[in-house]
């Protein structure tokens, strides 16, 4: 069985390591993701436990695609009732990433797939093409350099939607990006973790999940993944894999996790979110300015997503970056540090000797992860 896990281009290496952790060695790197071969049981485990993947797809067919006639021909070879169930609406999502594929015409590609599915033999009626339906099954065609990879999205809602997020903060990180930052910083749960600018708590909640070996999607409800609505879904195997993952969660942390923010309103959001994520009891919360932070233990890892200039104002941001640099040098010299900052942030004011800088994207904003290893 062949699958694709997608992720931002910048974090393909992190995702690759996660797949290796699941025992998946046979990987092909793509521009924004990784194709891999694995059995159903491991694939189910991947759906529930990958921290940095955005989406997952089961590959149906890969073929060269010089023209639209070839697409019609290839589609005839697919037995759609092996993949889709009658009652579930579907949509078609072509990803045409070069001129050659765009010239095939998006509308013609969609029409070809819809015709192929709706004229296929199904026990009852064929599934309905309905892009406006609630969570339709998405047939994805990734076409580039004359090659078409036709897959079915098996995640449903994007995988960063863990289910615990609350509103109430204007600048939240995606959960998948927070997990990538922690893994890039080498966090394993063996050392104290502090986020002194925790905002809505994304970093510390993801950290608690890593430290507890807790699968990030384990609390999604029944029927929440698209794969649960596809032909051939094995409910017993899915339950067994879910139970195994629950059993592998550690009961206690090996090192404490601390979170604070200057704004008590955000600390409350972080606390409430961590309660929904069922990790609240593992995290120490407080409200204080970073300028007054003291290391809770002699060593540890400080991870923070620093405020952005647009919201705060250039003059204030300069002073804040100087303050942050001073506190780190005076108080946290025995700690490892990982700071996520916008590409255009005044990082020279931090006066930190970084061991590594990783370019990332926070949504549409180019950012940098500054790592100082102690
Ligand atoms: C970019 S946001 C962090 C968002 C967070 N990573 C999340 O996913 O929700 C930066 C946070 O820094 C906090 N902050 C700003 N100045 C601060 C200071 N001097 N001390 C502590 N926190 C501060 C803000 O209240 C804000 O919540």
pLDDT of residue 265: 97
**pLDDT confidence band for 31 (50 / 70 / 90):** confident
Is residue 72, in this structure, part of any structural domain at all? yes
Higher pLDDT, 167 or 182: 182
Same domain assignment for residues 16 and 130: yes
Same domain assignment for residues 130 and 187: no
Determine the distance separating the centroid of ligand 1 and the alpha carbon of 261, expressed in angstroms: 6
Is residue 225, in this structure, part of any structural domain at all? no
State percent of the chain over pLDDT 70: 98
Say yes or no to pLDDT of 35 above 90.
yes
pLDDT of residue 40: 97
Determine the distance separating the centroid of ligand 1 and the alpha carbon of 266, expressed in angstroms: 8
Is residue 268, in this structure, part of any structural domain at all? yes
Same domain assignment for residues 124 and 195: no
pLDDT of residue 51: 98
Is residue 158, in this structure, part of any structural domain at all? no
Q: What residues make up the domain containing 349?
A: 175-214+249-372
For the chain, what is the domain count? 2
pLDDT of residue 118: 94
Nearest alpha carbon, ligand 1 atom 1: 307
Q: Is the CB of 204 under 6 A from ligand 1?
A: no
Same domain assignment for residues 277 and 333: yes
**pLDDT confidence band for 87 (50 / 70 / 90):** confident
pLDDT of residue 314: 66
Same domain assignment for residues 186 and 145: no
pLDDT of residue 311: 64
Between CA 31 and CA 76 the distance in angstroms is 29
Same domain assignment for residues 83 and 116: yes
Same domain assignment for residues 319 and 190: yes
Angle at 238 between CA 234 and CA 241, to 5 degrees: 140
pLDDT of residue 309: 66
Say yes or no to pLDDT of 106 above 90.
yes
Nearest alpha carbon, ligand 1 atom 26: 199
Is residue 229, in this structure, part of any structural domain at all? no
Mean pLDDT in residue range 297-320: 87
> How do the residues of the chain divide into helix, strand and coil, expressed in percent and rounded to 5?
35, 25, 40
pLDDT of residue 117: 97
Determine the distance separating the centroid of ligand 1 and the alpha carbon of 220, expressed in angstroms: 28
Q: Is the CB of 169 under 6 A from ligand 1?
A: yes
Same domain assignment for residues 205 and 273: yes
Helix (H, G, I), strand (E, B) or coil at 339: strand
Helix (H, G, I), strand (E, B) or coil at 212: coil
The token duo for 6 is 């997608």
Taking only the tens place, the pLDDT of each residue in 217-243 is: 999 999 999 999 999 999 999 999 999
Q: Which stretch of 15-24, 93-102, 296-305, 307-316 has the lowest confidence by average pLDDT?
A: 307-316
Is residue 277, in this structure, part of any structural domain at all? yes
Between CA 316 and CA 313 the distance in angstroms is 6
pLDDT of residue 97: 87
State percent of the chain over pLDDT 90: 93
Residue of 194, 197, 291 with the most ligand 1 atoms within 8 Å of its CB, for mutation: 197
Q: Is the CB of 189 under 6 A from ligand 1?
A: no
Same domain assignment for residues 127 and 262: no
pLDDT of residue 374: 82
Taking only the tens place, the pLDDT of each residue in 365-374 is: 999 999 999 8
- Indicate the helix (H) or strand (E) that contains 268: helix 264-276
Is residue 11, in this structure, part of any structural domain at all? yes
Same domain assignment for residues 6 and 105: yes
CATH code where residue 355 lies: 3.40.50.150
Same domain assignment for residues 264 and 322: yes
Asked if residues 235 and 163 have their Cβ atoms less than 8 Å apart, the reply is: no
Is residue 256, in this structure, part of any structural domain at all? yes
- Map the chain to HEC letters: CEEEEECCHHHHHHHHHHHHHCCCCCEEEECCEEEEECCHHHHHHHHHHCCCCCEEEEEEEEEECCCHHHHHHHHHCCCHHHCCCCCCCEEEEEEECCHHHHCCCHHHHHHHHHHHHHCCCCCCCCCCECCCCCCCEEEEEEEECCEEEEEEECCCCCCCCCCCCCCCCCCCCCHHHHHHHHHHCCCCCCCCEEECCCCCCHHHHHHHHHHCCCCCCCCCCCCCCHHHHCCCCCHHHHHHHHHHHHHHCCCCCCCCEEEEECCHHHHHHHHHHHHHCCCHHHEEEEECCHHHCCCCCCCCEEEEECCCHHHHCHHHHHHHHHHHHHHHHHHCCCCEEEEEEECCCCHHHHCCCCCEEEEEEECCEEEEEEEECC
pLDDT of residue 310: 65
| CA dihedral angle for residue 181, residue 184, residue 188, residue 192, rounded to 10 degrees | -60
Q: At what angle do helices 202-211 and 264-276 cross, to 10 degrees?
A: 40
CATH code where residue 32 lies: 3.30.2130.30
Taking only the tens place, the pLDDT of each residue in 122-163 is: 988 999 999 999 999 999 999 999 999 999 999 999 999 999
Asked if residues 333 and 351 have their Cβ atoms less than 8 Å apart, the reply is: no
Between CA 253 and CA 230 the distance in angstroms is 37
Q: Alpha-carbon Rg of the chain, whole angstroms?
A: 23
Same domain assignment for residues 46 and 91: yes
Say yes or no to pLDDT of 194 above 80.
yes
Mean pLDDT in residue range 10-29: 97
Minimal CA–CA distance to 153: which of 49, 3, 51?
A: 3
Asked if residues 367 and 360 have their Cβ atoms less than 8 Å apart, the reply is: yes
Of 153, 184, 200, the residue at which a domain comes to its end is 153
């Amino acid at each position: 069985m062949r699958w694709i896990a997608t992720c931002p281009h910048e974090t393909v290496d992190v995702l690759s390591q996660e797949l290796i952790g699941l025992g998946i060695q046979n990987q092909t790197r793509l521009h924004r993701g990784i194709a891999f071969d694995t059995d159903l049981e491991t694939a189910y485990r991947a759906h529930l436990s990958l921290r940095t993947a955005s989406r997952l797809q089961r590959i149906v067919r890969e073929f060269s695609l010089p023209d639209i006639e070839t697409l019609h021909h290839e589609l005839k070879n697919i037995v759609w009732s092996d993949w889709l169930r009658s009652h579930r609406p579907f949509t078609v999502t072509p990803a045409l990433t070069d001129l050659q594929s765009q010239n095939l015409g998006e509308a013609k590609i969609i029409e070809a797939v819809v015709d192929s599915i709706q004229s296929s033999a199904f026990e009852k009626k064929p599934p309905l093409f309905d892009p406006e339906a609630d969570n339709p099954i998405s047939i994805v065609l990734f076409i580039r350099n004359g090659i078409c990879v036709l897959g079915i999205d098996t995640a449903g809602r994007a995988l960063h939607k863990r289910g615990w997020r609350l509103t109430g903060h204007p600048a939240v990180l995606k959960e998948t990006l927070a997990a990538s930052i922690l893994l890039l910083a080498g966090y394993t749960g063996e050392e104290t973790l502090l986020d002194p600018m925790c905002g809505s708590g994304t970093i510390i909640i993801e950290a608690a999940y890593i430290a507890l070996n807790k699968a990030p999607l384990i609390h999604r409800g029944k029927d929440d993944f698209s794969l649960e609505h596809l032909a051939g879904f094995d409910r017993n195997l899915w339950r067994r894999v879910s139970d195994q993952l629950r059993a592998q969660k550690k009961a206690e942390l090996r090192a404490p996790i601390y979170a604070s923010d200057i704004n008590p309103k955000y600390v409350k959001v972080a606390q409430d979110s961590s309660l929904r994520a069922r990790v609240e009891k593992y995290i120490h919360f407080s409200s204080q300015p970073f300028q007054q932070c003291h290391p809770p233990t002699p060593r540890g890892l400080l991870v923070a997503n620093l405020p952005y200039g647009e919201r705060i104002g250039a003059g204030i941001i300069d002073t804040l970056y100087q303050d942050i640099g001073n506190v780190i040098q005076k108080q946290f010299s025995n700690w490892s540090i990982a700071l996520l900052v916008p590409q255009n942030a005044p990082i020279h004011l931090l006066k930190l000797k970084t061991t590594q800088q990783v370019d990332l994207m926070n949504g549409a904003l180019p950012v940098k992860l500054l790592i100082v290893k102690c």
